[in-house]
Structure 1
Amino acid sequence: MKKSEAINLAKAKLPDRRFQHSCRVADTAVQMAKIFGANEKKCFLAGMLHDYAKYDDLKGMQKIVKKFHLAPEYLQFKSEILHGPIAAHIMKTEHGVTDADVLYAMENHTSGRSNMTLVEKIVFVADYIEPRREIPGVKGIRKVVFGEKNLDKAVFLITKANLLHLISKDRMIFSKTFECYNYYSNIKE
């Protein structure tokens, strides 16, 4: 898929505020790709399309999970988790995206997972640190990425923050998020 096609798909489907976020994630991902030696085009595409299904109907997403035998655990969660795997599925089945790095990055951009690919880690982090995000602790994570140049530590810190947030709200936690935390807690240094 060409960059222009990804931009047009995102722009046509997403509200302007979410489209602008996707543009910033894609740009941040490219910036990070240059630092960490990743494929810039893959990072751009995954960053631009990561939220493609963000506003899709929940029942429709659940039907896709069932029809295409995606992980049954997805059915326990709402759009916050589902939109990534559904976006990846739509890009693969309807738009011919076959690159595993791009699809994994889209699928796991909210939950993370253990042993992520370089593109996955970059999009996971870029989504969290894009310039307009003002999440508590984000400035420190930007320093870890752009100052320390430690991507694994950034993944760990984001996952830890996400877990603490979910626990503070008494929310269910997706198994991949625990796996991500455990995996990156051992290699963050």
Structure 2
Amino acid sequence: MREWSNREELLAQVRAQMHDKRYDHTLGVAESARQLAIRYGADPDKAQLAGYLHDYCKCWPVDKMFEILVRHDMPTELLEGEKELWHAFAGAIVIQSDLGITDPEILQAVRYHTTGRVGMTLLEKVVCVADYIEPNRNFPGVEEIRALAQEDLDAALALALGGTMQFLIEKKKTVFPLTLLAYNDLISLKRENRRV
């Protein structure tokens, strides 16, 4: 892995990929991820780095992302699904090839920050929730997710994913299967923890 001890150099690389509003969001996610990592026992440096990198390809043209995804044999359900998800999967590929980030935990946190997945790691949960609650976010229910994130990371993530699915259904858009599976996994974990 390339050494990214020079924060300014890394941020310049990230900044070059996006517009001002997206960059402000990125900084907010990185700081929120660091704080959540400290609170829940994940690696704060990895969380912050994943936060900086999570939207690396977000502002790229969809045809460029599509080309990357096809070249790396991404599943048909992703390629035929909502294009808003592509940046996460393309981003995990690009930050490895272009920036030399090889840490699998960081790559997975970037890859699954929009969809979630079954069996998410603590770092993946931290980055996913940070993406929802960073200070620049303003949508109905965000305050509830922010408050819950200080008490129960899994519950906050389940609430966030549930809200995303509800939004997609109301807009008559498809729900990516991993998101539904991630939500069900989190709900099952909660149920099992109550039994113990």
TM-score normalised by the shorter chain: which range applies? over 0.9
Identical-residue share of aligned pairs (%): 37
**1:144 equivalent in structure 2:** 148
Q: In 2, Cα distance between the equivalents of 1:161 and 1:6?
A: 32
User: Runs of 4+ in structure 1 displaced over 3 angstroms?
Assistant: none
**2:172 equivalent in structure 1:** 170
Q: In 2, Cα distance between the equivalents of 1:132 and 1:56?
A: 21
Any conservation in 1 of the 2:28–2:134 contact (CA below 8 Å)?
A: yes
Aligned residues: 187
Matched position secondary structure for 2:102: coil
RMSD: 1.3
**1:181 equivalent in structure 2:** 183
The counterpart of 1:130, out of the listed 134, 157, 161, is 134
The counterpart of 1:102, out of the listed 96, 102, 106, is 106
1:76-115 equivalences under 5 Å are 76-115=80-119
**2:159 equivalent in structure 1:** 157
Could you tell me how far 1:78 is from its partner in structure 2? 4.1
**2:46 equivalent in structure 1:** 42
- Which consecutive residues of structure 1, in runs of 5 or more, have no partner in the other structure? none
Any conservation in 2 of the 1:51–1:84 contact (CA below 8 Å)?
A: yes
Any conservation in 2 of the 1:10–1:49 contact (CA below 8 Å)?
A: yes
TM-score normalized with structure 1 length: 0.94
- Which consecutive residues of structure 2, in runs of 5 or more, have no partner in the other structure? none
TM-score normalized with structure 2 length: 0.91
**1:59 equivalent in structure 2:** 63
Could you tell me how far 1:5 is from its partner in structure 2? 3.5
